[in-house]
Amino acid sequence: MTAAIPFSVLDLAPIPQGNTPHDAFQRSLALAQHVEQWGYQRYWLAEHHNMPGIASSATAVLMGFIASGTQHIRVGSGGVMLPNHAPLVIAEQFGTLASLYPNRIELGLGRAPGTDPTTMRALRRHLDANLDDFPRDVQELLDYLGPEQPDRAVRAVPGQGLNIPVWLLGSSLYSAQLAAARGLPFAFAAHFAPDMLLQALQLYRDNFKASDSLSAPYSMVCVNVVAADSEQEAQVLYTSLQQQFINLRRGTPGPLPAPVDNMSYIWTPGEKFAVEQTLRLSVVGDRQKVRHGLQLLLRETQADELMINGQIFDHQARLHSFRIVAELREELAKEARMR
C-alpha cells in the first residue's frame, strides 16, 4: 500500500423504510459534501431499476445534482449499465455533465442490466440484441467521446473530444479482460460478488495494454464497510444490508430495512449461508477491526484504490461510518510514510 492510495464512495441512494426518493437524494448530497471535506477521491452513483430501495435509476440526472452541490470531488457512475442505453445517448448525457462541471465527471460502465428481465424489456434497449454487443458498444462510446473525426457522420454534441475518463466495472473475468484490452481502468464489485476478485485483478494486470488514456493498469475494489464506535453497534447497523440481500433473494425488494438486534428470526439457515457468502468481504466493526480489515484487503488485492459502499439505515450513523474510514485512511497513510 502506498501512502497516497485514494478512498472513494459508491452510493446507491438508498431509500430507508419510511422515507422517499426526495429524502434519499438530500441524504446523498449531504454525504457527498461531507466526504468531499474528508478527502475522498470520487463519488459514484449506481444505476438500478425497479428497486423500491434504490433511488439512483436516472444516474446522470442525479450526478448533476451531486456535482452542483459540491466543489471538487469527482462525480461518476458506478455504473451506467450500457446494455440499457444507446452509446450516443450516454455520450451526450456525460458530455453535457462534463461541459457543466469540467474535469470532474467520470463514466463507469457495467455490462449487466441492473434489473430483472421484465424491467429490462421495459427499458426497450435489447429486444433484439444480446450482451455480446457490449464490447462494440463500449468502443462506439469511446469513439463518441474521443477526438473529432472530420468524416464522422454522427457526433456527440456535447461530448466529442472531451475525453471523459471511462472505467469498466465488473464482477467476473469478462470485464477485466475487456478493460485490459482497451487500456481502461477497472473496478471490481467485491461488495456483492467477491468470488473472482483476485483472479480478475490478476487477469487485468497480466493482459493490460497501454492506451492513450492509461499507460499502466489501474484497479479499484469496491467493498461494503460499516464502521461504528463499538463492534456491537456496527453489527446491528449491518443487519440492514443483510436484510436487503435476503429480500432480493426472495424476489421481494423493498426499502432499506431498519436494523435489528437479532437476525435469527429473519433468515433461514440457507439464506444466512448464502448472504454471508455474498457479503463475506464486507468490513464491519469498530475502528480497530475496520482498520485491520482494510489493511488486509489492500494487502491481498494490491488495489490502487478502494471504493466504499455503506448501506446504513440511519443517516447520521452512515456519515459517522464514512468519517471513521476517512480517519483510518489518514492513519494508514501516515504509517506508510514512516516506513
**Strand, helix or coil for residue 178:** helix
Q: Quick one: which H or E segment has residue 8?
A: strand 7-11
CA-to-CA distance for 318 and 16, rounded, in angstroms?
A: 12
Please report the domains of the chain, with CATH numbers, ordered by start residue.
7-231+282-338 (3.20.20.30)
pLDDT digits (tens, 9 = 90+) for 224-259: 999 999 999 999 999 999 999 999 999 999 999 999
Q: Quick one: which H or E segment has residue 226?
A: strand 219-227
Q: Please report the DSSP string for 49-103 in residue order.
A: -S-TTB--SSHHHHHHHHHHT-SSSEEEEEEEEGGGS-HHHHHHHHHHHHHHSTT
Average pLDDT rounded to a whole number, residues 185-191: 97
Average pLDDT rounded to a whole number, residues 125-139: 73
* 120 band by pLDDT with thresholds 50, 70 and 90: low
* 2 band by pLDDT with thresholds 50, 70 and 90: very low
Whole-Å CA distances, 107 to 203, 214, 330: 22, 15, 27
- Looking at the whole model, is its pTM more than 0.75? yes
Whole-Å CA distances, 168 to 55, 134, 321: 22, 11, 27
* 288 band by pLDDT with thresholds 50, 70 and 90: very high
Residue 162: its pLDDT value, please?
94
Contact 146, 211 (CB under 8 A): no
Residue 153 scores a pLDDT above 90: no
CA-to-CA distance for 45 and 51, rounded, in angstroms?
A: 15
